[in-house]
Amino acid sequence: MRGQMTGRALAAGMAMMFAVFASTTFAGTGDGDASTRIYLSAAVERIYLSAQLASAGHGQRDPILLVASARLLAWGHPYARLMSPEISGGAADAAKAPAQVEHTPQSQLTEAHALAGTDTAMLGVIEASRLWIDEEIERVGTGGPYVHKQTLQRGARAKFRLKFFGHEPARVAVVGSLARADFLLTTKINLVVLDEKGTVVCESRNWEDFEFCQWKPQQDTYYSLMVENNGKWANQFAIYTN
């Protein structure tokens, strides 16, 4: 038993190191608008990676992956709401909707705690991570990427129009609240990015509850970001962008 606990503690420690390494590697440094935009762009990528880790953690019932997901997500704590989207379409749920869980550091740690059971080493890692996350969110304050959260009915589409800077990476991540392994085959959120002429510059259409798009505009210009819910149920999603 002691060997098993030690092994899980070591694995958890490696997951924590990975989370911190990923966060510090991509973050921008210095002051000024350019470095801030680099930081925000990298934070969007970390949020998407966090969603992937959370989905794997749900599917494998592995608290280590969920803790790593929570720490990555806390580093990119969002702060501002996007403009209100245009909503079109939508219908009643095809069946009784399952309980939805918002993708937050706290929700990931709550599930990790439930999966840890009586593993004292893992419970210690979770508690330490909870304290770190609380301190990190308080320290960062309002320093994360832009975010808008909304419930999208089955078959509905939300359209955002946003300006991005030329010659800099533009990144958008969408994360639903059904990103768990038991719902992945019945949830389907799509992300499509169009330029001012209506040409598709990026699209992400996976059978998953999280999507990611990245491109590099040639000049400062507006793009339309479309989030489509083609799943069975209404879905509370969050869209993040730099």
Starting at the edge strand that comes first in sequence, how are the strands of the sheet with 210-215 ordered?
146-152, 235-241, 170-175, 210-215
Distances (CA, A) of 159 to 20, 115, 151, 181, 205: 34, 37, 13, 27, 16
Q: Which residues contact 101 (CB under 8 A, 6 or more apart)?
A: 107, 111, 177, 180
From residue 71, give the alpha-carbon distance in Å to each of 47, 88, 216, 238: 10, 35, 28, 18
Q: What 3-state DSSP class applies to 141?
A: coil
Parse the chain into domains and list their residue ranges: 2-241
> Do 170 and 41 form a contact (C-beta atoms < 8 A)?
yes
| Inter-residue contact 44 to 173 (CB < 8 Å) | yes
Q: Which residues of 153-164 are buried (b: 16+ CB within 10 A; e: fewer)?
A: bbbbbbebebeb
Could you tell me how many helices (H) and strands (E) the chain has, helices first? Answer: 5, 9
Give 56's Cβ-side CA count (13 Å radius): 12
Q: Are 144 and 16 in contact (CB under 8 A)?
A: no
Domain 2-241 has CATH 2.60.120.380: yes
Q: Give per-residue pLDDT as tens, 22-79.
A: 443 333 333 346 656 666 667 788 888 888 888 888 888 899 999 999 988 887 666 6
CA-based diameter of the chain, in Å? 63
Question: Is residue 154 within 8 Å of residue 234, measured between CB atoms?
Answer: yes
For 68, the token pair is 């790593």
What does the pLDDT profile of the chain (242 residues) look like in tens digits? 434 444 444 444 445 545 444 443 333 333 346 656 666 667 788 888 888 888 888 888 899 999 999 988 887 666 666 777 888 888 887 777 777 777 888 888 999 999 999 999 999 999 999 998 888 777 655 556 788 888 889 899 999 998 898 888 899 999 887 656 555 556 688 999 999 999 999 998 877 788 999 999 999 999 999 999 988 888 888 898 88
Residue at 175: amino acid letter: V
